[in-house]
Structure 1
Amino acid sequence: MFKKPLASIKSFSPLRSSDKRRLRDEILASFPALKDMEPINHTPVNNIITPDGLQAAKFTSYIEEPGTLYTDADGTPLWFKISSSKNNSLIVPSVYTLWKFPDLIPGLTTWNPVVDKLRNGADLMIPGVITANNTFVPEIDEGSLVVIRARGNKYPLAIGTMAISGQVLASSRGSLPPKGKAVHILHVHLDQLWAMGTKPDFPADWAQGPKAPLDDEYASSDEETDDEKGDEVTDDLTEDLQGVSISDIKGKAMVRDDFPTSTEIESTSTADSQQPEEAKEEVEAIVLSTDEVDKALQDALLQVLKFKITEDVSKELLPMNSSTLYSSYVLPNRARGRAAEADIKKSSWKKLAKWLKAVEKSDLIKCKEIKGELFLLGVNWNHPQLKGFTGHKTVEQQAARQAKVEAQISQANSDVKVLEVLEAYRPNSASGDFFEATGKSRDGYYTLQEVRATLAQYIKDKQLSDPKNQRIIRLDEVLHPALAKKGEQIDRVPRDHTSDRLVANMVIHHYIGYKGQQPRFVKGAVRPIQITQEIRTGRKTVTKVSGLEHFMIDVDAFGQEIQVLCASSVAITPLVGASPKLNLRELMVQGPQVKNVTAVLQERGVPKKYIEFLDKTNKKK
């Protein structure tokens, strides 16, 4: 929804006390868990979800979805409300808010490479959801809000609505998952909504947190009770891992080509080779020996040092704390297949710090304990083990390949030439100096959102708000010519008039082309498509369409599509009053076909705001 900049956004205005209370009540009603939460850093929850200085603005997304955006006093998005009829009462927290309340909404877990696909605008596909073994899949209904977490991290990176129910997702556990979408993504980390805020780094405990809901590879052993598991993990957190939760492995995270082959089944259980069902169960319950776990972890570390934390990039990555090394590098770089089940708790070392210190004794790496946490400081790049290691195919590569396949399938399903319509403004002689003063080019093209953001930042940096009335802006020598009309002598303007005044001193341009192309803007506003419904001779209603050429639509092909869809005759004639050089034509279809014509235009990518309708039938009557 926020993959591209907003199509339009009105000026932000502070919320009145009554509106603020109404919003807070709506949030608490939608997310009742907030009522029972303790203050964060001595700040009450109510003051976090609706802080002082809360602002609101109406917006329209690039996919023509209307809504309302709520930000704090600094402009960081906190909540947004989708105003379409389908999601009329849906209020959604931003990633900024979710990082303050990471457990507010039920979540699904995906592979790290899949998150990049979400940032590129893809929805989360069913095979991209980790469901193997004991990975938690919430029992939520289709259409409910759900957050997306990357494997091994507790903080959400995206939020959307379920395309299917959680029960359907959970039913795919241990088998090839069905195709299709799992979540319709609304907002994701690093999208255009995120870019409006302060863009902080990941929280300090990014790779820490509760394990059961996050990692398919960290499911607990059946031999432990819940209390015993909790105590053991807590002890490990305190003593060595500094908050990195790791527990026993019960099974591996299966993705499409990670299922055991018939050869593996036979080698696992020769006695049961004549009983396929029992052999399958035997494979699903594979437990590696201690020696196998040790070797798998050692190979994973060599894979990391050989291909990830290389000598060329080590200066940027090191020192690295042990928890990050293990969760973000070692685990994703385990070999595929049986080795993917390896976990430090099943090794002979049992604990991460003990393992790394043992590796250090072999002179492969150099570690140091800093403030109670073990850090990787250096690597012996000439070590024989490292030089002789050839590498293996990793779990991470497998997940990336699967994500790529799903993205290709998704792209193939939507690989239709879809129009992209953009409007932008270019500074003229009056506003050019202002843009140069803000470090921008006077020859650039800027969307309305970018114009407003640039103006707001300049006003904030120069402290041009009237101290007695924040709604009034004082004009300095740079801002005056950019906002004043020709010959007008003013020194102050209302804040909500500033962007309109600046745009009036700019030249509108537009671009119409296919998505993925480099925009080439031309002067002037977008000329909309005209749909006219009128009564012709014999009191027959006809629908006329003109302006298709401006949107790169083949009039003849469009006419054939409309003729089939409406089962009506279609005539195409030169557009009356248009220059013959332009070769513009008008399409006329029998009957009241406004809805059908509009639907076809929108399917081809024409935004609804660029479709004008004129009804002449009432005037005739």
Structure 2
Amino acid sequence: MFEKAFRVKSNTVIKGSDRRKLRADISASFPALSPDELSELVPNKDELNVVKVYAHKGDAVTFYVLHKNPIFFQIEKHIYPTVYTLWRYPEMLPALRTWPAVLQKLVGGADLMLPGVVVPSCGLPKVDRGDCCAITVVGNRAPVAVGTVTMSTSDMMNSGMKGRGLNVIHTYMDQLWAFGDKTAPPIIANAEETAEALAREDSGEEEEGGGTGEEEEGGGELHPGPEGMGLTDSNSTCPNIQELSLAEGDTEKGEGVGGEEEEEGDDEQDSRSPQEQMDELLLQCFFHALKAKVKKADLPLLTSTFLRIHMVSCCPGGRQLDIKKSSYKKLSKFLQCMQKDHQLVKVKELSKGVESIVEVDWKHPELRSFVAPEDGGSVDGPNEGGGGGVGGGCEVPYHPPEITAMYMVTARLEPLFTDAQKRKGAALQAAEVRSIITDYVKKNDLVDENNKNFVTINPALCDGLLEKSEYNEIAKLKWDDLFTRTLGKMQQCHQLQLPGQRAVVKKGAVEPIDISVASRGSNKKVTIIKNLEVFGLDPSAVSAALQHRVQASAVLHPAPGAKDRVLVQIQGSQINHVGKLLLDEYHIPRKYIQGLDKVPKAGKKK
């Protein structure tokens, strides 16, 4: 219900009579609460607010807010606890347990299906249809969601644990949770799981993967984040950073020793799996970027910017940093590991869906002892510009991406490209298309004998290039018309080549940087800049450069409908200044900037 933003109608302090009624309703709905616990939740003197909101689907909902955290919410006379309340009193509701990965689906608005429920050895809790129930994850008894069950416990078992089990109303990381102080769930050990772990230890059983210390501690930990909203899996432990330091220390000691020892080291390096090698490269670039590129003044720093600008530039020559090939798969999971297990950085979601590094432990022994390898990227000092920053002391100048117009083979035209081994979906430049079509025509003897400027239409060309109304009318085409029709029938796409990164082919035309002026309260003007990330520009660096130029405040907001993108909003109508910055400093071609023609004309002087 709260996966999308809601609209607040009113926010008032609760009356004394309503406070007593609320306490009575909570006591009747949740008899497991003791009188003392009830008094803590609904105190007599502390300020308790009643907030009335409209959910995104129009439902009227009432929040009860204590100490800036919503503790209960009411929908059509039914009252439910929030996750903040359940973290204090996890026993007040029966709970169904699921796997950590399922949490991401629940946050997105999905309901809990019975195949995803983990049945403990003691059996499921006793519930009836419509009862309020919590959801926990394996390894932590702190609830992460609240909802109503769709069937009784006996019906669940009789159905073979198939079908919908619980209608989810509120989850950790949704908009109701964000209305509070946005704290992460505590770690509450599960007595049953702990007992099972101890029994396995006594019997000498070991989990696959060797049983690391993190597994012995009994579970993962919840961390906020758009990608890593679930628990860190207890089996996926952080690779030991000591191995990286040790490997670098061995390299230093081995310098100048015989070539035999170096060859042995190379053999040992090659014996590791590609995933292990990528893990080591990821750690190396992480330490190198923190030590050589990021300054305290750069914080808070967008995590996407940290990877794209700082870590990628620290990658040794001849190697490519690809986090998807590591054991972490996602940047958020890697940074959670650096935060949780090593206390190297602190990551927060400063705005919805946008994570930033807000703190770095510069005195951490592992960071201080790190020595950058000789081939570890061309960085001579800290990067103050944050990537793509003008006037920020960035020693690596910004270079605009290379954008190449391309054409994608469609199913209708695939027979014309079969001889060239180009299947449906292959992206080609116009010159390649021209060459392949020329070869096809010559190979099939389609050049007109009487006039070499014409090409005879065969069935494949007819099906691919002609409209139905033209089947009986056109028997020949000029070469230029042939190429024009071929390109017109192919799907437009473009190749984007950012410096230091792999070229990416995307469908459609390239999204231009969009500059617009909007009105805010009291007819104040603001300038909004979108799609900077498409061209490898760091929005925070552009924002800082504009602030310096126009001496006006600028803020970053999540871009609506675009994942992992933010827009820059700066006070006043600043289209001229934005245009000069993008054209003169960043050298973005004018054709890729939209909105420069919307500069307001100066009014006549009186």
Give the TM-score normalised by the residue count of structure 1. Answer: 0.37
